Structure 1
Amino acid sequence: MLRGAGILLHITSLPGGCYVGDLGPEAYKFAEGLADAGQTYWQTLPINHTLPEYENSPYNAVSSFAGDPVLISLDLMKKDGLVDQAPQCPATERADYVKAWEVKRAVLEKALKKARALSDYRNFVDKTPWLEDYAYYMAMRERHGPWGRWPDEAPPRRLVELYKFAQFVFWSQWERLKQYVNDLGILLIGDLPFYPSVDSVDVWRYRQYFKVGDDGKPLYVAGVPPDYYSATGQLWGNPVYNWEALERDGYRWWVERLRHMLEVFDYVRLDHFRGYLAYWEIPGGETTAARGRWAPSPGKRLFDAASAAVELGRLIAEDLGYITPDVEALRDELGLPGMRVLQFAWDGNPANPHKPHNHVKNSVVYTGTHDNNTAVGWYLQEASPRARREFRQYSNCREAVNWCFIKLAYMSVADVAVVPMQDVLGLGPEARMNRPGTVGGNWRWRMAKQPEPRQWRRLRSLARLYGR
Structure 2
Amino acid sequence: MNGGAVNEERLSGVLLHVTSLPSYGGIGDFGPAAYAFVDFLAAAKQRLWQVLPLSPTGYGSSPYSALSAFAGNPLLISLERLVADGWLTAEHVAGLPGHDGPANFEAATKQKLPLIEEAATNFLDRAPDAARARFQHFSKANISWLADYAMFIVLRRRFGYVSWHEWPAEYAHRKDDAMTQTLNAHGRELAIEQVIQFFFHEQWSALRSYCVERKVRILGDVAIFVSYDSADVWTHPEIFELDAERRPLRVSGVPPDYFSKTGQRWGNPLYKWRLLEQRGFDWWVARVRRALALYDMIRLDHFRGFEAYWSIPAEEETAINGVWVKAPGHELFKRLREVFGELPFVAEDLGLITPEVDELREHFRMPGMRVLQFGFSDRGSHLHLPQNFVPNMVVYTGTHDNNTTLGWWREDTGERERRHLQTYLQPIRHDDDVVWAMIRAAARSVANLCIIPMQDVLHLGSEARMNTPAAGNGNWTWRYGLHALHPDFATQLADLMEMTDRDGYVLPEPEPIEIVSSAAEHGPSI
TM range (shorter): over 0.9
Contact 1:223–1:236 at 8 Å: present in 2 too? Answer: yes
What is the letter of the counterpart of residue 464 of structure 1?
E
Q: Pick the aligned partner of 2:221 from 172, 178, 191.
A: 191
Contact 1:21–1:446 at 8 Å: present in 2 too? Answer: yes
1:8-47: CA deviations, max 9, x gaps?
A: 0000000122110000110000000100001111001000
Structure 2 residue 128 is the aligned partner of structure 1 residue 133: no
Aligned partner of 1:366 in structure 2 is 396
SS in 2 for 1:62: coil
**Which structure 1 residue ranges, 5 or more long, are not aligned?**
none
Aligned partner of 2:492 in structure 1 is 458
Structure 2 residue 89 is the aligned partner of structure 1 residue 84: yes
Contact 2:337–2:343 at 8 Å: present in 1 too? Answer: no
1:254-296: CA deviations, max 9, x gaps?
A: 1111121112111000000000010000001211100000011
What is the letter of the counterpart of residue 208 of structure 2?
K
Contact 1:410–1:463 at 8 Å: present in 2 too? Answer: yes
CA–CA distance in structure 2, aligned partners of residues 5 and 349 of structure 1 = 27
Aligned partner of 1:60 in structure 2 is 65
Q: What is the 5 A alignment of 1:46-445?
A: 46-51=53-58, 54-85=59-90, 86-88=92-94, 89-91=96-98, 92-116=100-124, 117=127, 118-119=131-132, 120-129=134-143, 130-144=145-159, 145-151=162-168, 152=170, 153=178, 154-155=181-182, 156-349=186-379, 352-398=382-428, 400-445=433-478
CA–CA distance in structure 2, aligned partners of residues 348 and 233 of structure 1 = 21
Q: TM-score, normalised by structure 2?
A: 0.86
Between 103-112 and 169-178, the greater mean CA deviation after superposition: 103-112
Q: Pick the aligned partner of 2:38 from 31, 34, 45.
A: 31
SS in 1 for 2:299: strand
Identity %: 42
In the TM superposition, what is the alpha-carbon distance from 1:233 to its structure 2 partner? 0.5
CA–CA distance in structure 2, aligned partners of residues 122 and 266 of structure 1 = 24
CA–CA distance in structure 2, aligned partners of residues 353 and 109 of structure 1 = 49
**Which structure 2 residue ranges, 5 or more long, are not aligned?**
1-6, 171-177, 503-526
Contact 1:44–1:190 at 8 Å: present in 2 too? Answer: yes
In the TM superposition, what is the alpha-carbon distance from 1:161 to its structure 2 partner? 1.9
Distance change (3 Å), C-alpha of 1:350 and 1:220: closer
CA–CA distance in structure 2, aligned partners of residues 216 and 19 of structure 1 = 37
SS in 2 for 1:328: helix
Q: TM-score, normalised by structure 1?
A: 0.97
In the TM superposition, what is the alpha-carbon distance from 1:351 to its structure 2 partner? 7.3
SS in 1 for 2:379: coil
CA–CA distance in structure 2, aligned partners of residues 159 and 140 of structure 1 = 10
What is the letter of the counterpart of residue 376 of structure 1?
L
CA–CA distance in structure 2, aligned partners of residues 417 and 341 of structure 1 = 10
In the TM superposition, what is the alpha-carbon distance from 1:352 to its structure 2 partner? 1.7
CA–CA distance in structure 2, aligned partners of residues 121 and 435 of structure 1 = 39
In the TM superposition, what is the alpha-carbon distance from 1:467 to its structure 2 partner? 1.0
1:62-111: CA deviations, max 9, x gaps?
A: 11110000101000001111112251323341111121122232212322
Distance change (3 Å), C-alpha of 1:175 and 1:218: same
CA–CA distance in structure 1, aligned partners of residues 390 and 313 of structure 2 = 38
Contact 1:147–1:216 at 8 Å: present in 2 too? Answer: no
Between 174-183 and 207-216, the greater mean CA deviation after superposition: 207-216
CA–CA distance in structure 2, aligned partners of residues 111 and 193 of structure 1 = 30
Contact 1:422–1:431 at 8 Å: present in 2 too? Answer: yes
CA–CA distance in structure 2, aligned partners of residues 127 and 425 of structure 1 = 40
Distance change (3 Å), C-alpha of 1:142 and 1:214: farther
The structure with the largest alpha-carbon Rg is: 2
In the TM superposition, what is the alpha-carbon distance from 1:464 to its structure 2 partner? 0.9
What is the letter of the counterpart of residue 462 of structure 1?
L
CA–CA distance in structure 1, aligned partners of residues 412 and 117 of structure 2 = 47
Aligned partner of 2:510 in structure 1 is none
What is the letter of the counterpart of residue 47 of structure 1?
L
What is the letter of the counterpart of residue 196 of structure 2?
A
Distance change (3 Å), C-alpha of 1:274 and 1:162: same
CA–CA distance in structure 1, aligned partners of residues 64 and 339 of structure 2 = 24
CA–CA distance in structure 1, aligned partners of residues 343 and 11 of structure 2 = 16
CA–CA distance in structure 2, aligned partners of residues 128 and 415 of structure 1 = 34
Distance change (3 Å), C-alpha of 1:215 and 1:147: farther
Root mean square deviation of aligned Cα: 1.4
CA–CA distance in structure 1, aligned partners of residues 108 and 393 of structure 2 = 37
1:285-325: CA deviations, max 9, x gaps?
A: 21110000001100100011111222443100000001000
CA–CA distance in structure 2, aligned partners of residues 329 and 338 of structure 1 = 11
Between 352-361 and 92-101, the greater mean CA deviation after superposition: 92-101
CA–CA distance in structure 2, aligned partners of residues 131 and 361 of structure 1 = 40
In the TM superposition, what is the alpha-carbon distance from 1:55 to its structure 2 partner? 0.7
SS in 2 for 1:279: strand
Distance change (3 Å), C-alpha of 1:254 and 1:147: same
Distance change (3 Å), C-alpha of 1:93 and 1:181: same
What is the letter of the counterpart of residue 446 of structure 2?
V
| Count of residues paired in the alignment | 466
What is the letter of the counterpart of residue 451 of structure 1?
L
CA–CA distance in structure 1, aligned partners of residues 117 and 67 of structure 2 = 21
SS in 1 for 2:93: coil
What is the letter of the counterpart of residue 349 of structure 1?
R
CA–CA distance in structure 1, aligned partners of residues 203 and 250 of structure 2 = 38
